[in-house]
Amino acid sequence: MLPGEVQNNKLQLIGKLTASLIHEIRNPLSVIKLNLDLIKLEDNLSKDILDSVNDSLSATNRIEYMIDNLLSFARVVTHGHEHFSLNKITSNAIDLLAVKANKYGINIVTEFDESLSQIYADKNKLLQILLNLITNAIESYNKDCKGDIIIKTSSSEENGNKKIHWSVKDSGVGISEDNISKIFEDFYTSKVNGTGLGLSVCKMLADELEVQIEFESKPGHGTIFKVTFDVNRMRKLYEATNTSN
């Protein structure tokens, strides 16, 4: 077995273990929540007790939010590689996040290169990456800081190296110098309700898809995340899996 395959098998196993562990956490957690709700219904609770119960309820809600996120990551259903339109899958991702963008009062603008050739990748894995990056762009805004999100697709060619580019640009809070090295770490988050897994998952899926993720950020001005597809690499991958011998 090749080292990459061992790593893949380990990841699959961890995915399965995570999914079943999360399942096991869910039931006792709902019992705790139910009991806390029941205690809240009691008359004559002192303020201290009520505060403690409310704190415990928020903590259980946070655990629930985190395991929901973990479950959705562990459950990325894959269909293998196929040809599809990057513009179309981006529109799908934007549709899925329309309600969230609306809630933040954010306008998502697209600048699609309509002449882009199709890409060859695992659609669901790529969708997961796009969803996480657009979600982060939306969440980079707060009530004092509003603006558009610009999602762009384009292509380039240098010395026969054809690339397809995807980017999401926000003018949100940006990432401070100190945090730039941390954002891809598991569980690193600067958000009250974040799990800090979004970008770790993006990195894992991008490695699997052999696509590159880079970013540039200016605190107070915004951030751009770029995904680059190597057209020759995708062609080779297609030929390797579809050539009969």
Write out the residues near ligand ATP by the rule CB under 6 A.
69, 132, 136-137, 140, 170, 172-175, 179, 183, 188-191, 194-200, 223
Phi and psi for 226 in degrees, rounded to 5? -120, 140
**CA gap 157, 155 in Å, rounded:** 7
CA-atom Rg of the chain in angstroms? 21
Select the binding partner of residue 190 from ligand ATP, Mg ion, none (C-beta < 5 to 8 A, by kind). ligand ATP
Closer residue to Mg ion (CB): 75 or 235: 75
Nearest approach, Cβ of 130 to ligand ATP (angstroms)? Answer: 13
Positions in the binding site for Mg ion (CB under 5 A): 136, 198
Say what angle helices 3-41 and 47-74 make with each other, to 10 degrees: 150
Nearest approach, Cβ of 190 to Mg ion (angstroms)? Answer: 10
Closer residue to ligand ATP (CB): 90 or 136: 136
Closer residue to Mg ion (CB): 128 or 136: 136
Nearest approach, Cβ of 150 to ligand ATP (angstroms)? Answer: 12
**CA gap 57, 49 in Å, rounded:** 12
Q: Are 185 and 194 in contact (CB under 8 A)?
A: no
Phi and psi for 62 in degrees, rounded to 5? -70, -40
Closer residue to ligand ATP (CB): 69 or 153: 69
